[in-house]
Amino acid sequence: MNTSALIFMGFSWGVVILLCIYCFTKLFSRQDKTQ
Amino acid sequence: MAKQLRERWASKIGLILAMAGNAVGLGNFLRFPTQAAQNGGGVFMIPYMLSMILIAIPLMWVEWAIGRFGGIRGHGTTPGIFRLLWPKRISKYLGVLGLFVPFVVVCYYVYIESWTLGYAIYSLFGLLPHLPQGVGANSAAYLKPFKDLLISYTGMGKGAFYHPSLTAYIIFLITIGLNIWILAKGISGGIEKLAKVAMPTLFILAFILMIRVLTLKTPNGSAIEGLNFLWTPKWALLKNPKVWLAAAGQVFFTLSLGFGAIITYASYLKENDDLVISGLSASALNELAEVILGGSIAIPAAVAFFGVIAAQKIASSGAFNLAFVSLPAIFTSIPFGRFFGFFWFVLLFFAGLTSSVAIAQPIVAFLEDEFGITRNKAVLFTVIMMFIIAQFPIFLAKSLDEMDFWAGTLFVVVFALIEVLVFFWGYGSDRAWEEINRGAIVRVPRIFYPIIKYLTPLFLAIILSWWLIDVLPGYLSNANWYVWVTRVMLIGILIFLCMLIHLSSKRRRG
């Protein structure tokens, strides 16, 4: 892959993966109140 | 406060998967990669992410908050909720779009969803056209048998009427039946259980397909060249306002904003359930399906098989061609392709099914909440109406495009603008802000207060103005009698829904 494509793809994938990790960590770090 | 006994989500993960299922649709796997490829490649992500922060995420929180606000007061749809948020005579009628948009969209969406089921069956039983091994240099000739199959399956030829195959119609009936079955089982017993099965399956299938596609290599190209084609930044296009509008449109559609479905789903939350992180989690899953999985299947596969130039043509020929012509042609040409084709269409079918039950639910909820009828009766009434209206896109030329333009493109933006104005300006921005943050695991950063109050409606108004100026005149001038039949039908639905709102209002007063 060329470098600029790799940077844009890597950045976009990185943002999405970090967002998922952040959300699900926060979500399940607290007692599930919907139960 | 008139509290009614309403259903509730059984678990947090079920709610998030159902919300993600609502958002993840055919657009994640087809619309996103074609939009990115046509609008600057890698640089498309700059307006895409900015639009996500300034329009999509704020609007998503607004819709969740409106839904939860209405649900604890016995209303799951906007006619009832808007009346509480902004007590004016007109407010309940402004909420009609929260019924009109999802109802019109589901009528044609279920039909397209049925194609994916039909093609999944065709793939599994080897009924798709057989091609000699190897890739011909002429992609048009190579794709012809698959184009012919799509035309004979859907009957979408020239003339005012379509003649779908009997198989297509039977599978459409089966798809309607599946939707009835899930809707009739209710929120926790039907929709939530479906999401818990369909969403993990969808992600697993997409991951398998992504790995297979990324290892594709033919004399014409490779999937890595496809990723280069999709992600290489074309900086000059960043100055083009159409690229910014395309990105704003994409983030809007990908999260299914302005459809009323998020509001209805959120109405089954409890009073102090978190919506900030829950909403963000569902959006994050949608982005995972779109940016990572969606960007790594269709376009890289097309480039690997047909080369960059032919793939550009395929990308611009529309989502249907990509889904039902190019991808099956590619999958039938690789070892065990029958199964990969089956995976592809099952993936699309699950994406479609989890979305169709979501956009059918607002009408069901409206009938249950506002007329007090049982769920089974509400589902039956909704599905009978759906079945009648669905005959238009099945048999009448251009009807599907027309319904998609008015309900699925124009009115979703109008409705989103109304939502944010009613909530932040009609109900009051401070109260709306507290409503969003009630029960939050993490409070929304204060910077989003002015964003939601000023920037989000401003951006929505800009998108809407551009469409009204640039797209609408062409649409209105390019019409023949059968297009007008669909338009009259749409006006009829709008009047019918306004009458239902009027009746429900009289019933409440009486």
> Distance between CA B110 and CA B126 in Å, rounded?
24
CB atoms B42 and A5 under 8 Å: yes
Specify the pLDDT at position A16. Answer: 97
DSSP B321-348: HIIIIIHHHHHTTSTTHHHHHHHHHHHH
- CA atoms lying within 13 Å on the CB side of residue B269: 33
Are the Cβ atoms of B45 and A13 closer than 8 angstroms?
A: no
Tell me which residue of B321, B415, B332 sits closest to B124, measured CA to CA. Answer: B332
Q: Using CB atoms, which residue from B43, B228, B280 is nearest to A23?
A: B280
* Residue to test with chain A: of B15, B232, B293, B444, most A Cβ within 10 A: B232
pLDDT at position A30: 67
Interatomic CA distance for residues B414 and B131, integer angstroms: 47
Residues 3-22 of A with CB under 8 A from B: 4-9, 11-13, 15-17, 19-20
- B220 and B307 in contact (C-beta within 8 Å)? yes
Largest CA distance in chain A: 49
Cα–Cα distances in Å, from B280 out to B23, B289, B306? Answer: 12, 14, 38
- C-alpha to C-alpha distance for B128 and B144, rounded to whole angstroms: 12
Closest by CA position to B297, among listed B202, B234, B217, B207: B207
Nearest to A12 among B10, B45, B277 (CB): B45
| CA distance to partner chain B, nearest, from residue A35 (Å) | 6
Joined tokens for residue B56: 């999509």
Report the residue of chain A nearest B289, measured CA to CA.
Answer: A16
One pLDDT digit (tens) per residue for chain B, 510 residues: 444 578 999 999 999 999 999 999 988 998 999 899 889 989 999 999 999 999 999 999 999 999 999 999 999 999 999 999 999 999 999 999 999 999 999 999 999 999 999 999 999 999 999 766 555 556 777 888 999 999 999 999 888 999 999 999 999 999 999 999 999 999 999 999 999 999 999 999 999 999 999 999 888 889 999 999 999 999 999 999 889 988 988 998 899 999 999 999 999 999 999 999 999 999 999 999 999 999 999 999 999 988 888 888 888 888 888 899 999 999 988 889 999 999 999 999 999 999 999 999 999 999 999 999 999 999 999 999 999 999 999 999 999 999 999 999 899 999 999 999 999 999 999 999 999 999 999 999 999 999 999 999 999 999 899 888 988 888 888 788 999 999 999 999 999 999 999 999 998 877
Would you state the pLDDT for residue A35?
44
Per the CB < 8 A criterion, the answer to whether B67 and B269 are in contact is: yes
* ipTM of the shown complex: 0.90
Alpha carbon B301 to chain centroid distance?
A: 23
Report the alpha-carbon distance of residue B241 to residue B221 in Å, rounded. Answer: 32
Structure tokens at B57: 């995420």
Report residue B157 as tokens.
Answer: 């030829």
Round to whole Å and give the CA distance between A12 and A21. 14
